[in-house]
Amino acid sequence: MYRLFFYLVCCQSIPGLDELLEGGFPRKRLVLVSGATGTGKSIFGMQYVYKGLVEHEEPGVFVSFDEMPEKLREDMLRFGWNLKDLEKNDLLAVVDATSARAGAPSEEEHAIMPGQLDLDRVLLEIISTARRIDAKRLVIDSLASMGLRLDGDTEARRAVLKMSYVLARSGLTTILTTEVPEQAPGTGMHFSKYGVEEYIADGVLLLNFVGMGPQPIRTMQIRKMRGTNHSLEIHQFEITEKGILLEKRA
């Protein structure tokens, strides 16, 4: 199938991933990254934004509902990612949504205010921030922590569909993380919190722990990626001192 280069976010943000996707994520699409606690979802998201900027000159926005931005900056220094320098030059925006969840004011330059945790206001703040820095990439970490009042499957489907539509029209390629239960071999698979997000998202990546021997391993599966002839295999990955690295299969 003939595919134009500009259609893809062609990046080596996650070494080893692009070749599994015919070159990268389709642009202006929403990709759901699902996984249990500790599988590397936040690192995946920040690596996607950070590497996209420093290696491909694509500014990005990271919206944190799970961790205070100052702690996030400290954690990312372990990989050599200095977020503050990029923020000072308006190349990266870390949006504090954790304070709003706690009902407290934020001292961050970019923040969701208390009382503004409804979908329309969150999207408005994200788009306004993205436009100020001419962002191309966006990470929302995470759906489960957004605090949206989703009443059942219908509301969840409507919310994810609206996010996908609005953000795509804004020119953003978006990663939305979400928590799912630990996946055990032979059990029913879970790809999202509400059980409907995976049908709306353009792509779904599942991160997992697999117990093999004394040390569990981390795995990644591309469950779907519209517009690409992607790998269907389960791939092992590591979180190294430089971030996430997919291991090449022999």
Overall domain count for the chain: 1
pLDDT grade, residue 136 (50/70/90)? very high
Please name the residue ranges forming H helices in 77-171: 83-88, 98-102, 119-133, 152-169
Question: Mind listing the pLDDT tens digit for each residue in 62-87?
Answer: 999 999 999 999 999 999 999 999 99
Pairing of β 92-96 and β 30-35: unpaired
**Backbone torsions φ then ψ of 55, nearest 5 degrees:** -105, -20
CATH number for the domain spanning 96: value is 3.40.50.300
pTM of the entire predicted model: 0.92
Averaged pLDDT for residues 216-222: 92
| Residue range(s) defining the domain that contains residue 162 | 5-180+187-246
Say whether the peptide bond before residue 106 is cis (omega within 30 degrees of 0): no
**Backbone torsions φ then ψ of 213, nearest 5 degrees:** 75, -155
Q: Are 175 and 139 in contact (CB under 8 A)?
A: yes
Matching residue, tokens 């694509």: 58
pLDDT value of residue 153 = 75
